[in-house]
Amino acid sequence: MQQVFKRPVSLKDVQTHFCPGCHHGTIHRLVAEAMDEFGVQQRTIGVASVGCSVFLYGYFDIDVVEAPHGRAPAVATGVKRARPDSFVFTYQGDGDLAAIGTAEIIHAANRGEDITVIFVNNTTYGMTGGQMAPTTLVGQKTSTSPYGRNQAKDGAPIRMAELLTQLEGVAFAARVAVNNPRNLLDAKKQIKRAFRYQVEGKGFSFIEALSACPTNWGMNPIAANERVGGEMADYFKLGVYKDTAEF
């Protein structure tokens, strides 16, 4: 028999700290697979952000720089400009990218930095204990929106993929999910496409991956997984928003 599924080489053979049913592990693996496919592991410099994704260096067998909260796109800019032959990606959560780091992501994207951004949207601040995020859905109860997100007071959740698509500097933007085999296989395809943009020097590529956070949503993993394909995907529509290259 032939092995049809194995652990990517770029992903360390270790247990993660992620909670059961959290999609970070899956998204990590898809990113590692893309790294393997393009053979970029040895020249990759990852930029870790603050949140559950901070332990990037614990899971990927690559060089990593840790960025302050929200600043990963600025750090990645410095890395890529100084080492243009390296493959540079950031891996950021929604609080990091869509709240405290809004200026950094918008301007790195607008400059068309030749980097890849993996943005994991789970509608909450996971590591700090489930507070309201910029992507928290209207009505969603969190530890800082105990009565549910109130659009009149808190605004509506930010759709980052759509927002960034407006910028000239963005070459590729897609929103994906890994909640079922079909979405997952498409996510794999789009992450690889995002990587290809950088490999071929075609500019800024952006992946928004919807993720479950069973622990902070107060759901079991199966129910949380269903929410991703349900009310989350209803508001955050999956799809490729921008795809400017010919390949």
Partner 1 sequence: MGKIEIDELRCKGCGLCTIACPQKLLSLSEKINNLGYTPAEISDPSRCTGCALCAEICPDVAILAFKNKTVAHK
Partner 2 sequence: MSKRLFVKGNEAIAMAAIEAGCRYYFGYPITPQSDIPEYLSRELPKLNGEFIQAESEIASINMLLGASATGVRAMTSSSSPGISLKQEGISYMAGAELPGVIVNISRSGPGLGGIDASQADYFQSVKGGGHGGYHIVVLAPSSVQEMYDLTMLAFDLADLYRMPAMILGDSVVGQMKEPLIANKRPQTELPVKDWVVRGKGVGEQRVVKSLFLGDGELEAHNNRLHDKYMLLSAREARWEEFETADAELVVAAFGSTARIAKTAIMQARQEGLKVGLLRPITLYPFPQRAFADLTRRCKRILDIELNNGQMVEDVRLSVARDAEVHFYGRPPGAGSLPTPEELLEQIKKHY
Interface residues with partner 1 (CB under 8 A) are: 1-7, 11, 15-16, 18-26, 29, 178, 180-181, 184-185, 214, 220-222, 225
Binds partner 2 (CB under 8 A): choice among 36, 38, 86, 162? 86
Burial readout 166-195 (b: 16 or more C-beta within 10 A, e: otherwise): ebeebbbbbbbbbbeeebbebbbebbbbbb
Site for partner 2 in 103-122 (CB under 8 A): 103-104, 106-107, 111
Q: Which of 207, 211, 121, 212 is nearest to 158 (CA)?
A: 121
Angstrom distance (rounded) from CA 151 to CA 153 = 5
Binds partner 2 (CB under 8 A): choice among 11, 47, 97, 167? 47
User: Residue 124: beta bridge partners?
Assistant: 132
Assess 63 for contact with partner 2 (CB under 8 A). yes
Structure tokens, 200: 């071929």
Could you tell me the smallest distance in angstroms from the CB atom of residue 160 to partner 1? 22
Could you tell me the smallest distance in angstroms from the CB atom of residue 23 to partner 1? 6
| String of DSSP letters for 218-238 | T--HHHHHHHIIIIIHHHS--
State which residue, 148 or 221, has the beta carbon closest to partner 1: 221
Q: Which residues contact 176 (CB under 8 A, 6 or more apart)?
A: 183, 186, 187, 190, 191, 207, 208, 209, 210, 238
Assess 14 for contact with partner 2 (CB under 8 A). no
Assess 66 for contact with partner 2 (CB under 8 A). yes
Which 8-state DSSP code applies to residue 149?
Answer: B
Could you tell me the smallest distance in angstroms from the CB atom of residue 68 to partner 2? 5
* # chain residues binding partner 2, by CB under 8 A: 35
State which residue, 29 or 80, has the beta carbon closest to partner 2: 80
Assess 132 for contact with partner 2 (CB under 8 A). no
Which of the choices partner 2, partner 1, none does residue 158 contact, using the CB cut-off of 5 to 8 A by kind? none
Q: Are strands 204-210 and 170-177 parallel, antiparallel or unpaired?
A: parallel
Assess 48 for contact with partner 2 (CB under 8 A). yes
Which of the choices partner 1, partner 2, none does residue 11 contact, using the CB cut-off of 5 to 8 A by kind? partner 1
Asked if 160 contacts 8 with a C-beta cutoff of 8 angstroms, the reply is no
- List contacts with partner 2 (CB under 8 A): 41-45, 47-48, 54, 57, 61-68, 71, 74-83, 86-87, 103-104, 106-107, 111
